[in-house]
Amino acid sequence: MAVDLDDIQGLVRHAYSRLTEACFYVLRIADAQAARRWLSSAPVTSAALAAKSVQEVLQVALTSDGLRALGVPQRMIEQFSSEFNGGMSADANRSRRLGDVDTNAPENWKWGGSAAPHMVVLLYAAPGRLAEWTQAVTGPEWATAFSVEVVLPTTDMKGLEPFGFADGISQPALDWQLSLPSHDRTQPDYSNLIELGEFLLGYANAYGRFTERPLVEPADDPQGLLAPAEDAPDKRDLGRNGSYLVLRQLRQDVQGFWRFHNARANGDPAARKATAEAMVGRTMAGVSLLEGAQAPSPDPGTKAGREQLNAFTYAGDADGLRCPFGAHVRRANPRNGDLPDASGKGLLARLLTTLGFDAAALRGDLVASSRFHRMLRRGREYGQSLPPEAAIEDQGDGVETGLHFICLGANISRQFEFIQGAWITGAKFNGLAAERDPLIGERQPLSDGSETDRFSLPQAEGAACQTTGLPQFVTVMGGAYFFMPSLRALRFLVTLDHSNTSSPVGST
Ligand code: HEM
């Protein structure tokens, strides 16, 4: 079956960076019937429209509690993944794995901690058009249908995240043409082209399998709204063309970040920039540290520029001398293939490396292959944009600043939770002794008491140079797991036989 772009919410295909105004409404459903009416007439934007041609965008996604509040039968809800149904914050073990402990703990969150929200409505608009668009979208039904748990406004920081680094550079390329062979074969080399089924339910994933998702009996879909499941044609696919959406409000301590680097650099601007860049793994302009300080910097605002900025792997930097192992971008995407790197070696040496007899290549075996752990990042910044000098001199107006982190994927546990848990929060990532992501990690000691507030800079000779006493720069303020249905699935969800559902509906 061909890919039906009309059926897919646009955020899967586009980041809508030209729509610089955005606001996210985190909602609870107060009246199920009104919510269904609102959803059935909501002008949800599809992926078929070119990003250039739209001036306003509306996207919607629901939590597990939200589906229940909408009146979706439990037998359908329970076929969604267990992490989606469990929620981001309901389980102490999940919180520990995600680093949601201490100041990050759900009990301290502003929203999403003790009670999961039901829905998120994402609004995007061209400059100057958001207020009008919001008014048009919310309409008379909105106030009856929903109670607003939190409004998440955003700020256009011109392609930078609040610490001042170019962002939105690296994204996986989705195999919209379905050109990748659909079977589980080893890929020795890193590739940025990833199976559609890694991001959309209902297609073959990187293992050549169909990710579990809700399939319904044809009797449950008398209007034939849903497509037959490709892997089970006697069932209708409620998941197809849908994706999971992870939303986390991440507060960034911009002053703390730049004051720390300034103090370590004794006030030297070049030195403080260099240590900050080592922790990110890219220069502030977005160039990989593999390129060296004098490299020209292509424009991250253009497609060609982003392609140039992403044309690398860490294969030539096996000792982390140019880009430290612990740097944020090297953790978040180690850019490795399924086998230790054997490029540039002769046949025998390649064989020995592949079989695991090459001691120097063993490090390459410590990290899971990237292709199973990619995500589409769609976050937006919020608060005040503050350049490093102003942050150091305390010129900020005290407004909370950070990132409304959003990522999309077909498997929350293998994608977001793995990257966040094993690679960002994991203190032993890539053979490191006890350190978490220097940019966004929490700093709780390990269970044996080892401190994790450090960052290692490998040296050509001797032991790595260590920065200690690293403060926590990013704090989780809220979050939830959502399902972003296809447009057909949305129609199906709001026209289900709800005769057994009373209204208004509370959360369970
Ligand atoms: C406030 C929090 C965060 C900040 C300031 C931040 C900053 C950055 C920056 C500056 C880049 C480089 C630009 C780019 O490649 O687009 C980047 C890349 C990336 N970040 Fe983050 N990030 C944050 C949170 C997260 C979280 C929570 C995750 C995942 C759980 C994550 C995953 C990634 C990934 C996958 C990349 C691309 C790496 C690559 O493909 O090379 N980031 N981030």
Mutating to test ligand 1, I would choose from 88, 440, 475, 477 the residue with most ligand atoms within 8 A of its C-beta, which is 440
Q: Closest residue (by CA) to atom 29 of ligand 1? A: 420
> Per residue in 370-415, pLDDT tens?
999 999 999 999 999 999 999 999 888 889 999 999 999 999 999 9
Helix (H, G, I), strand (E, B) or coil at 492: helix
The answer to whether residue 508 scores a pLDDT higher than 50 is: no
- Beta strands 173-174 and 193-194, pairing class: parallel
Answer yes or no: is pLDDT of 144 > 70.
Answer: yes
Ligand 1 pocket residue status of 440, Cβ below 6 Å? yes
Residues 44, 49, 53: CA angle, nearest 5 degrees: 110
The string of pLDDT tens digits covering residues 243-258 is: 999 999 999 999 999 9
Per-residue model confidence as pLDDT tens digits over 29-71: 999 999 999 999 999 999 999 999 999 999 999 999 999 999 9
Nearest protein Cα to ligand 1, atom 3 = 440
Q: Is the CB of 379 under 6 A from ligand 1?
A: no
Mean pLDDT of the chain: 93
Q: How far is the CA of 332 from the centre of ligand 1 (A)?
A: 7
Tell me the mean pLDDT in the region 284-307: 91
- pLDDT(350) > 80: no
Residue with tokens 């300034």: 262
Q: Please state, for a pLDDT cut of 90, what percent of the chain lies above it.
A: 85
Instruction: Please compute the mean of the pLDDT values over residues 136-155 and round it to a whole number.
Output: 96
pLDDT score of 506 more than 50 = no
* Ligand 1 near 259 CB (within 6 A): no
> What pLDDT, on a 0 to 100 scale, did the predictor assign at position 122?
98
Q: What are phi and psi of 228, to 5 degrees?
A: -65, 145
Say if ligand 1 is within 6 A of residue 168 CB: yes
- Ligand 1 in contact with 420 (CB < 6 A)? yes
Residue 490's pLDDT is 98
Is a pLDDT exceeding 80 seen at residue 342? no
Ligand 1 pocket, 332 CB below 6 A? Answer: yes
Q: How far apart are CA 316 and CA 308, in angstroms?
A: 17
| Cβ of 283 less than 6 Å from ligand 1 | no
458 lines ligand 1 (CB under 6 A): no
Q: DSSP for 409-454, please give it.
A: ES-TIIIIIHIIIIIII-TTGGG-SS---TTT---PPPTT-----E
Ligand 1 centroid to Cα of residue 328, in Å, is 7
170 lines ligand 1 (CB under 6 A): yes
Tokens of 277: 């860049």
pLDDT category at 501 given cuts 50, 70, 90 is very low
Does the Cβ of 152 fall within 6 Å of ligand 1? no
Spatial neighbors of 252 by CB under 8 A, at least 6 apart, are 161, 162, 163, 383, 401, 402, 403, 473, 474
Residue 469, pLDDT above cutoff 90: yes
- Indicate whether residue 169 lines ligand 1 (CB < 6 A): yes
Q: From ligand 1's centre to the CA of 36, what distance in Å?
A: 36
Q: Is the CB of 167 inside a 6 Å radius of any atom of ligand 1?
A: yes
Q: What per-residue confidence (pLDDT) applies to 185?
A: 77
Task: Indicate the DSSP class of residue 393.
Answer: T
Q: 472: Cβ below 6 Å to ligand 1?
A: no
Which residues lie closer than 8 Å to 282 by C-beta, 6 or more apart? 165, 166, 169, 288, 289, 309, 329
Any atom of ligand 1 within 6 Å of the Cβ of 282: yes
Residue in 83, 97, 154, 170 to alter for ligand 1 test, most ligand atoms within 8 A of Cβ:
170
Ligand 1 centre to CA of 172 (Å) is 13
Ligand 1 touching residue 161 (CB < 6 A):
yes
Q: Which of 254, 329, 418 to mutate to test the pocket of ligand 1 (most atoms within 8 A of CB)?
A: 329
Which atom of ligand 1 approaches the CA of 374 most closely?
Answer: 35
The model's confidence at residue 451, banded by pLDDT at 50, 70 and 90, is very high
375 CA to middle of ligand 1, Å? 10
